[in-house]
Structure formats: C-alpha cells, structure tokens
Structure 1
Amino acid sequence: MSTRVATPAVLRPDNQLKFVWRMLMTGGCFALFGIGGLLLTAWFHILCLWEKDPHARTESARRVISASFRLFLNVTRRLGVLDYRIHGAQLLREDRGNLVLANHPTLLDYVLLASVMPQCDCVVKRALLDNPYVSGAIRAADYLINAQAEILLKESEKRLRAGDSLLIFPEGTRSRPGDPMKLQRGAANLAVRSACDIRIVHIHCSQLFLSKGSKWYQIPRTKPQFTVEVKARFSAGDFFAGGDQSPALAARRLTRHLAGVLAPENS
C-alpha cells in the first residue's frame, strides 16, 4: 500500500458538449442505481428464502452490496461523470471491531466507503426502510436502524465485540456547504461506552456536487473529483482524563476532537 498522495491535476471546465454529455450520463447513472437497487432487492428476497443461516446470509448480502458499488463507481468513472481516489483502502478492508467515522459532504459517501469494505456494517435512518430501492439491501445486510437510542447502543456494542467494523457519519446527515460542522454525540457515546478503536476517514469533493439540498442535474462545469483519505486509528479510551471515568465527559471530549479532525479544512 502506497502512502504517497499524487499532486492534484489542474481541473478545467468542460466545453458545452462535454458538459451536456456529463449531465445526461449523470441522469443515466442515477437511473442505473435505481434499477440496480430494485434488482438487488429482488435477489435479497430470494437470498432470505434460500439461505437459512442468518450470519451467512448477512455476509453474502454485504459482499454483493460492496461488489455492486464497485461496479457502479467504475461505470460513473468510465462514462466521465466523476473520478475518485481512495487512499488507504486496505486499512478499511483489514479493520475489525472498530468504528469508522467519516464526514458526509455528498450523497455518494457511503457508496465510496462500502465499495472497499466487503463486510461493512452501518447505521442507517429509519426512513430508508420505506425506500423501495434500498430497503431490501438494508434488511438483507442486517444494518442497524437509527431508532431507539438504548437498543441501538446495546446492539452496536454487541457487534463491535463480535468484530464488526461499523460505519457511522457523526453529522447524521449530509453537511450543507459553508455551514459549520455539527456533530451528533451518538457516535462518541458509543465509542467511549464500548471502549473501541476509531478509524477516521475524510471525504472531499473538488466541486459542489450531490450535497444536501442539491438536485442530481445541478452538476458543476468541471468534472468532480472525489478523494477519500483513510486516517489514523486511535482508542476511545484515550478521552478519559486522569481518574475521571465519566462516559459523558469522555464523549464530550471525543466529540470536540472529532469536530476538529473531520472538518474540511483539516483534510
């Protein structure tokens, strides 16, 4: 695995023909994602009937999701919709029993990370269970639902102890460009109460693209370049100060630390 980061290329605006092509292909890729989601949902229903072992079923579903995302990202790259680089992907593939905490600037953040995490576990919003394009994948992959806090905390701790690598976006939703980063404390509370390790991931997009409140057709004049940087892994136990063993105080310290390391200016 190389740690060298290449010097960014000079990005030039597309001419009108390339811009129109990229807009059409962006729409086509969104359609492809939706169709793929429906096909995967059908396959996952079959998987649930065919594979009776819940653990084997979950592992199989997560591998299929990861492979599907890799295929989707390769299609978007080949069609010229976007480009992306993931530095340190091997670290994410090797991580076990830890939280993966990332900032959340775009709609594709989960897709990028899950594409290199074949056994990615994730906390998702309850509302996504009503989405026909992704509900089948959520159920088959046995993702955690962000509903009742105490139940979520206990189940998350159980999975971390079992060796799952759990992906969480501490912001809770996509950030709005220009707004200060606001973190929910749930990820920090989970980290300190389970005394797990944390892997920081920073996601950057060169252009304003698929951020909160934007539409798919609001594409930039220059092809967006995604850069994913896998950062250091550290222990949540480091945030207990001296003899102070209060999880609430440790969670506050950890939240302040995360706000610094996940902020765009610290990428």
Structure 2
Amino acid sequence: MAHAPSTSPSPAAPEPRGLLRLLLVTWLWVLVAWLGLLSLSWTLLAMLLHPVLPAAFGQRLGRAVISWGYRFYWVCGRASGLMRIDASALDVLADQPGGLIVAANHPCMADAMLIVARLPRSVCIMKAGLQRNIFLGAGARLARYIANDVPHLLVRSAVDELQAGAQLVLFPEGTRTEGGRLQPLRGGIALIAQRARVPVQVVIIETDSPFLAKGWPIWRLPPVPMHYRLRLGQRFEPPPADDPHAPAELMQALKTHLEHELSR
C-alpha cells in the first residue's frame, strides 16, 4: 500500500539474517549495477547519435529506448523475486492520442522509471544537473527532456511538447513524499495545462517499500519483496483560458484528490 499509514497493517515479515541476508543484499546490488550498466551503455550510444540524427527522429528514438529499457529492467526486477510490480493500469494511456499531463505522487526515486516504462511518448522535466550526469545526461538530451533551471523556458517547452502530442510526466510535489504526507504542490502544472489546453491525469503510486525514499540509504536492504502498484486517479480538464483564478482552483482540487487517495 502507500506510505500513508494503513488502517489494517500487515504483520511485519521477519528480518532475514545470515546467509539469506547476504544473498538478498548481493542480488539487490546486482540489480542496481544492472541498471547502471544499462544506463551507461545507452548514454555512450546516445552521445554518438545526438549530433548526427535529425532532432525529431532522435527525440522519438530517445524516448522509445528509455521507455523500453526501463520496462526491460522492471521485468528483470520481477524475475529476481525482490520486486512485485503492477503498472498495467497505465497501458490505456499509452494508446490515447493527443497531449496529456501525467501527475503522480512521489514516494521514491524509482517513480519516473515506473511511469516512463509504460508510456513511450512521455517526456520528463528533470533537474538541469541530471542532464550532465554520466548515466542519464546524453540519453535525456537525445530524448529532448526538459530542464527545470529556467522556469519560463520550462513552461514554454512543456506547452510545445504537449501541443505536439507528448505525455508530460510531472510530480506536483516537486520532491519526494516524506513520512507519507503530501508535500505542498507547485502551481506550474495548472499553468501548463491551461496554456496547452490538455487534461491532467492523476496516477497514484502505492508501495510498501522505503527503498529509494527520502532518508533510506541505497545500500540498506529493504523488506522484500518490494511491492509497487500504479493506478489511475481522477482526470481533470484544463482550466479555462480566460479565467485567472482557474489554475489555483485546479491546484486545490488536485491537492484534495491526492490527499484523499493517499489516505486510503
């Protein structure tokens, strides 16, 4: 379930010890290393492709490869026995035409990878520093992901992508959820929806694992198996273009909906 307290918590599984714990930690690190190897391999290839491919083709190729690469990684994660993942609810979005903002809660660092794996047309807004990251940078630049360092350029680029039919992945909190409590939402999502004239589809990410959440060291073994479930929440229509108060009303409705879903 979600990080919010459950009304009927399951009994805690016994902590693995000795050889079993060593094997689980080793297998977890194999998965982490495998993700790093996949990312680095694509980065090296993307560095070569970026200068020579036409921008439009490079963008489509970059987004498709990232999507299928993450999807392959989650298949490996499930096959390892350490993870149980159900993100099939997002498949209905992949085939829908036109632009769409996908707004999700943000329990851990794996959230974007879980969503992008199911949405090959998706574009992410990412920290500008990550576009210089050795594991992510070249692939993100080839896919024309949007940097967050200049706000007015961010909004303009996001609107252009949505009007061209992309699916924009956003985390309205702007940071990972902490302690199961929804963080204050940032209003840019409503402004982008208003200007691009596209709906906002809420995605609820539920997990019982603290792995990659705030304050959890990556080397620490979490309770296993780790469960992740993604389900569709409410869809909000874009705010009326001629109503200056509509974006704030959308943000309030989005906040109320997320708080209700996370408390379930």
Shorter-chain TM band:
0.7 to 0.9
Q: Name the TM-score, length of structure 2 as normaliser.
A: 0.87
Q: Is the 8 A contact 2:47 2:139 kept in 1?
A: no
For 1:62, the equivalent position in structure 2 comes to 63
For 1:85, the equivalent position in structure 2 comes to 86
CA-to-aligned-CA distance 1:64-94 (integer Å, 9 cap, x gap):
1111101111111111221111142222212
Local SS of the residue matching 1:138: helix
For 2:256, the equivalent position in structure 1 comes to 260
Structure 1, unaligned stretches of length 5 or more? 1-8
1:11 Cα offset (Å)? 7.7
For residues 15 and 212 of structure 1, the distance between their equivalents in structure 2, rounded to whole angstroms, comes to: 23
CA-to-aligned-CA distance 1:214-259 (integer Å, 9 cap, x gap):
211233334210010023433123xx5xxx9433x22211111111
1:18 Cα offset (Å)? 4.2
Q: Structure 1 residues 10 and 225, CA, compared in 2 at 3 Å: closer, same or farther?
A: farther
Local SS of the residue matching 2:232: strand
For residues 199 and 33 of structure 1, the distance between their equivalents in structure 2, rounded to whole angstroms, comes to: 28
CA-to-aligned-CA distance 1:100-135 (integer Å, 9 cap, x gap):
111110111111111111121111111212311100
Q: Is the 8 A contact 2:62 2:140 kept in 1?
A: no
For 1:41, the equivalent position in structure 2 comes to 43
For residues 32 and 234 of structure 1, the distance between their equivalents in structure 2, rounded to whole angstroms, comes to: 38
Q: Which amino acid aligns with 2:256?
A: G
For residues 92 and 18 of structure 1, the distance between their equivalents in structure 2, rounded to whole angstroms, comes to: 40
For 1:3, the equivalent position in structure 2 comes to none
Q: Is the 8 A contact 2:162 2:168 kept in 1?
A: yes
For residues 126 and 149 of structure 2, the distance between their equivalents in structure 1, rounded to whole angstroms, comes to: 9
Local SS of the residue matching 1:107: coil
Aligned-residue Cα RMSD (Å) equals: 2.3
Local SS of the residue matching 1:216: coil
* Number of equivalences: 253
1:207 Cα offset (Å)? 2.5
For residues 254 and 234 of structure 1, the distance between their equivalents in structure 2, rounded to whole angstroms, comes to: 8
Q: Is the 8 A contact 1:87 1:230 kept in 2?
A: no
Q: Is the 8 A contact 1:11 1:222 kept in 2?
A: no
For 2:111, the equivalent position in structure 1 comes to 109
Q: Is the 8 A contact 1:107 1:211 kept in 2?
A: yes
1:201 Cα offset (Å)? 0.4
Question: Is 1:135 equivalent to 2:133 in the alignment?
Answer: no
Select which of 243, 252, 255 maps to 1:246.
Answer: 243
1:213 Cα offset (Å)? 2.4
Q: Is the 8 A contact 1:70 1:115 kept in 2?
A: yes
Local SS of the residue matching 2:141: helix
For 1:71, the equivalent position in structure 2 comes to 72
For 1:124, the equivalent position in structure 2 comes to 126
For residues 182 and 62 of structure 2, the distance between their equivalents in structure 1, rounded to whole angstroms, comes to: 36
1:50 Cα offset (Å)? 4.3
CA-to-aligned-CA distance 1:36-89 (integer Å, 9 cap, x gap):
2111011112222442x2111111111111111011111111112211111422
Q: Structure 1 residues 123 and 266, CA, compared in 2 at 3 Å: closer, same or farther?
A: same
1:137 Cα offset (Å)? 1.2
For residues 82 and 138 of structure 2, the distance between their equivalents in structure 1, rounded to whole angstroms, comes to: 27
Structure 2, unaligned stretches of length 5 or more? 1-9
**Matches of residues 1-267 of structure 1 in structure 2 within 5 Å?**
12-13=13-14, 15-16=16-17, 17-51=19-53, 53-95=54-96, 96-237=98-239, 240=240, 245-247=242-244, 249-263=245-259, 265-266=262-263
The percentage of aligned residue pairs carrying the same residue is: 25
Q: Is the 8 A contact 1:91 1:230 kept in 2?
A: no
For 2:5, the equivalent position in structure 1 comes to none
Q: Is the 8 A contact 1:84 1:225 kept in 2?
A: yes
For residues 254 and 172 of structure 1, the distance between their equivalents in structure 2, rounded to whole angstroms, comes to: 17
Q: Is the 8 A contact 1:260 1:266 kept in 2?
A: no
Q: Structure 1 residues 191 and 13, CA, compared in 2 at 3 Å: closer, same or farther?
A: farther
